């Protein structure tokens, strides 16, 4: 089973965007064209239920079977930190925001979600989807969802997984064989040149 993760189109926001349903910029037609040319057809296609991933998936749908949106693949819930900048959060929660990123696990934003709960939610979503499809599966998702998949595939800590850069509209390819996840490529911004 091949799992192709596409991080959604950019929102151009410089703040913490988790469950906020903000718009994205879908204007990079060249990148969408390259992804459409590279990604397999036929394939199943899914996204979270937030506009930035739904719109990304819409642009990858030709020749692919669209699955129902999966809310389990939403970005982490930043709670009271939603739509605030890192600097704004540091003013009131300096130690907490540092721990949130440096040692992700049980630390969470007020009224938000910790990494461990997020990881479990995301992989519950993936496991359910993988039972519905024969593959390949293309998922238009969020930064954190890609990082959670990398963490599982590399069998590393969350902080190690966070060391990977994940650009908007990049491709991360994971192969799943007998329940074992392995990484094929991470953050590929031009997959046609890296076949």
pLDDT digits (tens, 9 = 90+) for 140-163: 999 999 999 999 999 999 999 999
How far is 114 from 36, CA to CA, in rounded Å? 34
Report the pLDDT value the prediction gives residue 191, as an integer from 0 to 100: 85
Helix axes 143-154, 115-132, angle to 10 degrees: 80
Angle (CA) 44-77-82 rounded to 5° is: 120
- Which residues of the chain carry a pLDDT beneath 70? 194-195
CA 183 to chain centre: 15
Question: Mean pLDDT of all residues in the chain?
Answer: 96
Report the pLDDT value the prediction gives residue 15, as an integer from 0 to 100: 95
CA atoms within 13 A on the CB side of 32: 17
Angle (CA) 96-140-192 rounded to 5° is: 115
Token pair for 97: 């925001």
Phi-psi label, residue 70: left if phi above 0, alpha if psi -120 to 50, beta otherwise: beta
β-pairing, 180-188 vs 137-141, is: unpaired
Instruction: Give per-residue pLDDT as tens, 83-116.
Output: 999 999 999 999 999 999 899 999 999 999 999 9
Whether 129 contacts 67, CB under 8 Å: yes
Token pair for 49: 């239920």
Whether 186 contacts 7, CB under 8 Å: no
Report the pLDDT value the prediction gives residue 92, as an integer from 0 to 100: 93
How far is 195 from 122, CA to CA, in rounded Å? 28
How far is 185 from 116, CA to CA, in rounded Å? 24
């Amino acid at each position: 089973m091949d799992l192709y993760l596409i991080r959604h189109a950019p929102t151009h926001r410089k703040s913490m965007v988790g469950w906020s349903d903000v718009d994205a910029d879908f204007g990079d037609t060249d990148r969408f064209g390259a992804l459409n040319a590279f990604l397999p057809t036929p394939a199943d296609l899914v996204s979270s239920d937030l506009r930035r991933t739904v719109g990304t998936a819409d642009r990858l749908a030709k020749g692919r079977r669209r699955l129902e949106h999966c809310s389990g693949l939403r970005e982490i819930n930043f709670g009271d930190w939603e739509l605030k900048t890192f600097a704004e959060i540091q003013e009131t929660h300096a130690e907490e925001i540092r721990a949130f990123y440096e040692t992700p696990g049980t630390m969470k934003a007020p009224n938000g979600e910790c990494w461990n709960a997020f990881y479990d939610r995301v992989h519950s979503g993936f496991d359910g989807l993988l039972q519905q499809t024969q593959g390949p599966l293309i998922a238009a998702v969020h930064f954190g969802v890609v990082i959670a998949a990398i963490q599982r595939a590399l069998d590393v800590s969350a902080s190690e997984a966070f060391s990977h850069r994940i650009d908007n509209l990049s491709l991360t390819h994971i192969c799943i064989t007998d329940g074992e996840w392995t990484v094929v490529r991470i953050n590929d911004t031009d997959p046609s040149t890296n076949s």
